[in-house]
Amino acid sequence: MTIRTEPVTVNIGPQHPSTHGVFRLRVTFDGEVVVQVEPVFGYLHRGTEKLAEERNYVQVVTLTDRLDYVSSMTNNQAYCLAVEKLLEVEPPPRGKYLRTITAELQRIASHLVGVGFFLQELGTFGGTPLMYCFRSRERILDLFEMLCGARITVSYMRPGGVFADAPADFWPALATFLNAFPGELAELEQLILENEILMVRTRGVSPLPLDLAINCSVSGPVLRASGLAWDWRKVDPYDAYDKVEFQVPVGSNGDNYDRFWVRMQEVRQSLSIVRQCIAQIEPGPVRLPDLPLVLRAAPGKEAYGRIEAPRGELGFYLVSDGGVSPYRCKIRSPSLINLTVTEHLLVGWKLADMIVTLGSVDINMGEVDR
């Protein structure tokens, strides 16, 4: 006698705690093995691109905070670079350095969230590594509050620089953080980086071949884990990245462990960048003084500003018609593009690896749906 079997379709999300927001996966299982995956998104769609068309250039900065809410600073930076290209202006050097420092701090905070939730989805020790990550992230958010009055929705940068110089007590606080954080990072690495259970669960699971990654135009740590040292900070330096030295960590076979490992190494590189920026920064203006509050670009001008955000290449494509607001604002968000490889990553692997793989890609729904 044979048992009659049939594939089962399961909805994971949109209200699932480990899908990083309101993300829905319609998965068909054959027993425990994934045979078909269909990502469904759009639950967090707010029409940011359309809203940007009826706000002036500075007001859009507040919208960009809400795209990838785990790394608002880098969203600000990408947008401001696009507007500066549109207006053909360049911020003063101190503004550039402040942007670089805050963007790297934000990268550390974002990677800590990514790594923490990745480990949480593996079921590590009831959330202990996540809490360690959040402890360090809390210090960075505290620095942001000191700098710009908010922790998540920062709105710190403006076209032409940053809104204000750092307060006097920011620099000692940053030095305290830079002294304390390497110890916490070493603790986290000792706790988990070479743990045997982690290795068994993640090594060789859901590898992403490099040619597929390139063809799907994947970027960020997911691409670098597959073995290509492609980083816009190196390839096309913006702000103060051409004045600092850092390495681009690269994985070998693009499995879950490599994606996790690349993020851990990037945190160390970001720390080194922040240190170099502090050594190089000089007093001076932080914002172009002659830019008016309401900006206008020449009609018919277009600009594409891109940065290496923590999740990959984040780009803003702006078209001007000469008015006070952009005629068109297109956002190239890394999370959405990285999601296109979901099917290749998940099909053929087990249910238990599915959520972990999704965590290792580190998507953010605020940016996917925008």
Distance CA 332, CA 339 (A): 13
Residue 128 is a binding residue for other proteins (CB under 8 A): yes
Q: Number of residues in contact with other proteins, rule: CB under 8 A?
A: 32
Residue 192 is a binding residue for other proteins (CB under 8 A): yes
User: What is the closest distance, in whole angstroms, from the C-beta atom of residue 195 to other proteins in the complex?
Assistant: 5
Residue 147 is a binding residue for other proteins (CB under 8 A): yes
Tell which one of 32, 38, 90, 138 touches other proteins (CB under 8 A): 138
Tell which one of 153, 217, 253, 272 touches other proteins (CB under 8 A): 153
Tell which one of 58, 78, 162, 240 touches other proteins (CB under 8 A): 58
Distance from the first to the final alpha carbon of the chain = 53
Stretch that binds other proteins, among 4-12, 35-43, 78-86, 162-170 (CB under 8 A): 162-170
Residue 180 is a binding residue for other proteins (CB under 8 A): no
Residue 187 is a binding residue for other proteins (CB under 8 A): yes
Q: Which is nearer to other proteins, 167 or 348 (CB)?
A: 167
Q: Are 239 and 77 in contact (CB under 8 A)?
A: yes
Query: CA angle, 355 as apex, 352 and 361 as ends, to 5°?
Result: 135
H or E stretch covering 177: helix 170-188
Stretch that binds other proteins, among 34-42, 59-67, 233-241, 348-356 (CB under 8 A): 59-67
Q: Which is nearer to other proteins, 154 or 337 (CB)?
A: 154
Distance CA 4, CA 155 (A): 58
Where in the chain does DSSP place strands (E)?
A: 8-12, 24-30, 33-40, 157-158, 161-162, 302-309, 312-319, 328-332
Q: Are 243 and 280 in contact (CB under 8 A)?
A: yes
Query: CA angle, 263 as apex, 262 and 264 as ends, to 5°?
Result: 90
Site string for other proteins, 271-300 (x = CB under 8 A): ----------------------x-------
Residue 175 is a binding residue for other proteins (CB under 8 A): no
Q: Shortest CA distance to 72 belongs to which of 82, 62, 81?
A: 62
Query: CA angle, 369 as apex, 364 and 370 as ends, to 5°?
Result: 95
Distance CA 180, CA 194 (A): 22
Q: Which is nearer to other proteins, 279 or 293 (CB)?
A: 293
Residues at the contact surface with other proteins, assessed by CB under 8 A: 55, 58-59, 61-63, 65, 125, 128, 132, 135, 138, 145-150, 153, 155, 163-164, 167, 187, 190-192, 194-197, 293
